[in-house]
Amino acid sequence: MRGTSPTATHCPYCALQCGITLAVQDGRVELAAQQDWPTNRGGLCQKGWTAAELLTSPERLTTPLVRDSRDEPLRPATWDEALERVAGAMERSRAAYGPDSVGCFSGGGLTNEKAYQVGKFVRVALGSSAVDYNGRFCMSSAAAAGTKAFGIDRGLPFPLSDVAGADVVMLVGSNPADTLPPAMRWFEAGRERGARHIVIDPRATATARAAHLHLQPVPGSDLALANGLLHLAIREGYIDEDYIGERTNGFDVVRRAVRAYWPDRVERMTGVAVQDMVAAVRMLGEAHSAMILTARGAEQHAHGTDTALGFLNLALALGLPGRAFSGWGTITGQGNGQGGREHGQKADQLPGARRIDDPAARAHVAAVWGVEADELPGPGLSAYEMLDRLGTPGGVRTLLVLASNIAVSAPNRDRMVDRLGALDFLAVCDMFLSETAERADVVLPITQWAEEEGTLTNLEGRVLLRRKAVEPPPGVRSDLEVLTELAERLGRGKYFSSDPADVFDELRRASAGGTADYAGISRQRVASEQGVFWPCPDDAHPGSPRLFAERFPTPDGRARFHAVHAQEPAERPDAEFPLVLTTGRVLRQYQSGTQTRRVAALAAAEPEAFVEVHPYVAAEAGVDEGDVVRLRSRRGEAVLRARVTDSIRPDTVFVPFHWGGRAAANALTNPALDPYSRMPEFKACAVALTRLDPL
Ligand code: SF4
């Protein structure tokens, strides 16, 4: 590698998108933290500090791979041969089964430009409705709840640094100490000025241990708890009647609905003691400023949208959204989890976070794309529903996967692997041979984060520029080039550009007038202003770091309450499966582990999956620390090493989901879907635990 001066860019991993610099010195890539980037201010977690290793990994794919038959191994091929095979398979499926037999499954790590181009490729080049992405498994319930209550889906409606100014912060199903470590500076700054923090989590995580109050409910009972807290807030006189009257609709129905959630009953439903609920409500009710922040622990449920709405109701009743250092927000996980859900790779959306069944939205986007509105397909199936039908009559027969590792990250993993095997043709774009790529007919090696330029939108709604800092290895191409080359082979090349600057300009026009409006966000502004917050409808607009100060983006300007009732998880423990499994992330791994399991320091620090077991359960099963155990659910099993800890409830076990093979947490998880968001229930299913002989 040639020597270079430092280039300011961003971490390849999570939604904090920490600012880093990369420089090449003596053939080595040197990584440093940007001291002045607003979210991390010089801090990085271990994943960020070691990210440069991805750029020189010996496991990097640099040649397309093809398989001549399902019985033969992948072999190297030219780009021409590989792309011809993919385009040919797409043509054959379309001819034999119709356009919806070809689809794409993509990811929340894609840049805005790529997320936009995937949605356009499927609808314009393939004429298909079959597109969805792994954010359906991540942010979809929060997105649905935010849209229902506020008329807009932006994770945090304020800059992250506002956390430091809040007198009370309640975190629900969120563990930023492990998932976003540099963000903890804002929590710590608040604590230093006397702020108090409440954590709701079935595990005593690092975040919960540092909080002033930890409520430890049974997994899946958060909505009962939210309604119980609102019941208490009404009883104790903490609700803001002026705010409710002037800025909201629908509170009376909610007030009546939560009458049934009296404290003793909620204690029985959740396992949280009445005095802890009262303490939490008093902290929130007596604060000058307060935030309620939900995350996947509350949202990845078959009733995740209602659960997020339950906490939104509480925030609205306390008069928080729009007040300084206050409000409801959701903490995004994937690198472009926010932008990735705004530009059309969702089955039911067009760019600008527009509904695909809205005639005005279709007409606007079709005009930008240069096609007729009636050429655009309607809504497709959500992620799990699409994957569950792969290879079946009426389902997708040829699938292109980008930025996703379905064989590790989808729920009901064994079924998903079975469905991938039932496809006529599977093509995967990846930089490593992931568990999904291993199963492909064609693997296309693509550029990664620091080898290309693109914009992302972080957890605050701040659009930022990830700059190119190093040259990619010979033999790889960008996802945008792959989509353009495929479109050309399908006779639709004139509609596509592989230049990220061109694509971003088109995205801005396509998003204009939508709720996620990027029209005024030029790449020059993004680069010179430390990012720009959407909505930003024109070049003169300053961007929108804080939302809702005067009105909500609903037709009447008011936020909407929703009466929501607690429901149990789709699967409850019973005699055969007596424990509740909940899944999540650990500090030194990221998502399906495709990248982080290949970084030496991270693999050494967190080499394998494990199951957290309470000492009571361990004693009953004859399990000691480090023993190998089998977890079984109605869908599959996983073999894991036990970590015996009293940080988890005795009725609950926890497994991180970063590993595949015999240790895959998602072999166990339940694909029961939320009725609004189509989110699967990753966070609660019934399992049985038994000790195995040593491995
Ligand atoms: Fe990267 Fe997220 Fe760690 Fe920051 S917190 S260094 S963005 S993984």
- Same domain? For 74 and 45 the reply is no
**Mean pLDDT score, 586-593:** 91
Residues 6+ apart with CB under 8 A from 99: 126, 127, 128, 129, 377
CA 634/CA 610 separation, integer angstroms: 20
- Same domain? For 229 and 319 the reply is yes
- Same domain? For 96 and 223 the reply is no
**Residue ranges making up the domain that contains 120:** 65-138+339-449+473-498
- Same domain? For 159 and 115 the reply is no
- Same domain? For 396 and 259 the reply is no
CA of 182 to the centre of ligand 1 (A): 7
- Same domain? For 316 and 395 the reply is no
535 found inside a domain: no
Residue closest via CA to ligand 1's atom 6 equals: 48
CA 546/CA 439 separation, integer angstroms: 45
Is 180 a pocket residue for ligand 1 (Cβ < 6 Å)?
Answer: yes
**Mean pLDDT score, 288-300:** 95
Give the count of domains, the chain: 4
pLDDT at position 26, please?
85
Decide which of 330, 347, 382 is a domain's last residue. Answer: 330
- Same domain? For 344 and 482 the reply is yes
CA 513/CA 518 separation, integer angstroms: 9
Over residues 501-528, the pLDDT tens digits come to 999 999 999 999 999 999 999 999 999 9
CA of 338 to the centre of ligand 1 (A): 15
Q: ipTM higher than 0.90?
A: yes
**Mean pLDDT score, 366-378:** 97
| Ligand 1 closest atom vs CA 335 | 7
Over residues 155-208, the pLDDT tens digits come to 999 999 999 999 999 999 999 999 999 999 999 999 999 999 999 999 999 999
CB crowding 586-607: b at 16 or more within 10 Å, else e:
bbbbbbbbbbbbbbeebeeebe
Is 48 a pocket residue for ligand 1 (Cβ < 6 Å)?
Answer: yes
Is 109 a pocket residue for ligand 1 (Cβ < 6 Å)?
Answer: no
466 found inside a domain: no
CA of 188 to the centre of ligand 1 (A): 17
CA of 282 to the centre of ligand 1 (A): 34
**Mean pLDDT score, 73-83:** 98
Q: What CATH number is attached to the domain comprising 241?
A: 3.40.228.10
- Same domain? For 24 and 45 the reply is yes
556 found inside a domain: no
pLDDT at position 1, please?
66
548 found inside a domain: no
- Same domain? For 311 and 376 the reply is no
pLDDT at 693 over 80: no
Least confident of 195-204, 641-650, 685-694: 685-694
pLDDT at 695 over 60: no
Indicate the pLDDT class of residue 600, thresholds 50, 70 and 90: very high
Q: What CATH number is attached to the domain comprising 676?
A: 2.40.40.20
| Ligand 1 closest atom vs CA 590 | 8
Q: From 9, 10, 16, 587, give the residue whose CB has the most ligand 1 atoms within 8 Å, as the site to mutate.
A: 16
Over residues 195-214, the pLDDT tens digits come to 999 999 999 999 999 999 99
567 found inside a domain: no
pLDDT at 487 over 80: yes
Q: Which is it for the CA torsion 19, 140, 154, 175, positive or negative?
A: negative
Is 490 a pocket residue for ligand 1 (Cβ < 6 Å)?
Answer: no
The pLDDT mean for the chain works out to 96
- Same domain? For 49 and 109 the reply is no
Indicate the pLDDT class of residue 2, thresholds 50, 70 and 90: low
pLDDT at position 694, please?
60
Q: What CATH number is attached to the domain comprising 94?
A: 3.40.50.740
518 found inside a domain: no
- Same domain? For 203 and 318 the reply is yes
Q: Which is it for the CA torsion 265, 268, 271, 276, positive or negative?
A: positive
- Same domain? For 303 and 155 the reply is yes
Decide which of 498, 514, 536 is a domain's last residue. Answer: 498
Residue closest via CA to ligand 1's atom 3 equals: 45
Is 13 a pocket residue for ligand 1 (Cβ < 6 Å)?
Answer: yes
pLDDT at 27 over 90: no
**Mean pLDDT score, 5-29:** 94
**Mean pLDDT score, 224-247:** 98
656 found inside a domain: yes
**Mean pLDDT score, 489-510:** 98
507 found inside a domain: no
DSSP class of residue 606?
Answer: S
**Mean pLDDT score, 545-572:** 97
Decide which of 301, 330, 359 is a domain's last residue. Answer: 330
Indicate the pLDDT class of residue 94, thresholds 50, 70 and 90: very high
